[in-house]
Structure 1
């Protein structure tokens, strides 16, 4: 079967956005555009890899390195948002992927690290405290995803704002 025939067979299958926006395959973009739209996701994936690695290291009792990887995940999380805004590649997919990475890196990894490092003497209390941390992180991220739309008007904000430093 030639590539052309294979392409026609799947041509009737079209991805559709929940918002009705046209979905464009990465193969249709130039190499520069591909890098522009995937760069934020690379940082998000690095964030998630740090969180996952932190859990694995905590399992093997490498607690200090596991904590360092959570700090690296913070840097990757800051970088993914900054890169997305810089290159104009903010998308609903990116928001969801970032939240999942944040749940791994800032919900599961710290909860597991504290449970295995600090609280093993009190397994029931430790489980409850670690799960409470994870559940709060999950609820916070779910609320954020439910209330945020990257295409919304940015003049209005819901939540507790933080002051922005003024450039001199």
Structure 2
């Protein structure tokens, strides 16, 4: 059971992603994107459950990658395609494919480097590219904004297509890129800030329940802003590391 429970949660991630596609086919956009959000929450806890129960396994790692590709690569690509990119089915399908392929490339790169020691981004506390669940959220952010601002927002199909294509193209590039991004595990809070952080988590949860689409839209914008900040932070960390390395001995007289 220690192995079955976390794998069952991973299977729920896959099921949630595919259920989102099912809702998108019938035009139930709220339910469709909600399924991807639920998949993201489940994906965030399955690994922690496995470590807590000491039930991590090679099978679970492989299943997790397949579930992530389905829920955060294939499903968001189909949802955003049916919502907007279908209005230009030729080029629109290319953008949808770009998201799914970029997600697969990111997951393959992540799995292939699990045992690699020389990972400068990881050593400095950063990720390489944006994670697959974050990529799915960013790709669906135009739908978040539309559900928040009402049916008149992006009502013109050409504008909707242009915005969706730009967002999903940028997201795909960031997933497949080697851009350093912030990692939650690298965040260190001073003791004086812990109560403030708990208050912030509580307020975020309340906002997510009261105004989910506004909260998800603003969260997507905040993460997009954090990417260039992470690049600057990583460059600063690398400069400090280089400055801390003692210079080698000079040439002999």
TM-score relative to the length of structure 2:
0.48
1:39–1:147 distance in 2 versus 1, CA, 3 Å: same
Distance 1:68 1:56 in 2: 12
Q: Distance in 2 between matches of 1:109 and 1:50?
A: 9
Give the one of 78, 81, 91 matched to 2:57. 91
Per-residue Cα deviation, 1:33-53 (whole angstroms, up to 9, x for no partner): xx2121110110110000011
Q: Deviation of residue 93 (structure 1)?
A: 1.1
Specify the alignment match of 1:136 in structure 2: 102
Distance 1:136 1:117 in 2: 20
Deviation at 1:157, TM superposition (A): 4.6
Query: Deviation of residue 165 (structure 1)?
Result: 2.9
TM value normalised by structure 1: 0.71
Whether the 8 Å CA contact 2:3–2:57 is kept in 1: the answer is no
Find the counterpart in structure 2 of residue 165 from structure 1.
Answer: 188
List aligned pairs for 1:113-124, cutoff 5 A: 113-124=79-90
Distance 1:164 1:92 in 2: 28
Q: CA deviation at 1:69?
A: 0.2
Q: CA RMSD in A?
A: 1.9
Moved runs in structure 1, 4+ residues, more than 6 A?
none
Equivalences, count: 130
State the shift of 1:164 in Å: 2.7
Q: Given the superposition, is the C-alpha separation of residues 93 and 166 from structure 1 closer, same or farther in structure 2, using an over 3 Å criterion?
A: farther
Match of residue 166 from structure 2? none
Alpha-carbon displacement from aligned partner over 1:106-151 (angstroms, at most 9, x marks no partner): 00110000000011211112101100000000111111222225xx
**Is the partner of 2:68 in helix, strand or coil?**
helix
SS of residue matched to 1:120: helix
Unmatched runs of 5 consecutive residues or more in structure 2: 127-182, 192-253
2:48 counterpart residue number: 82
- The structure in which a higher percent of residues are helix is 2
Match of 1:43 in 2: 9
Shift in CA distance, 51/158, structure 1 to aligned 2, threshold 3 Å: farther
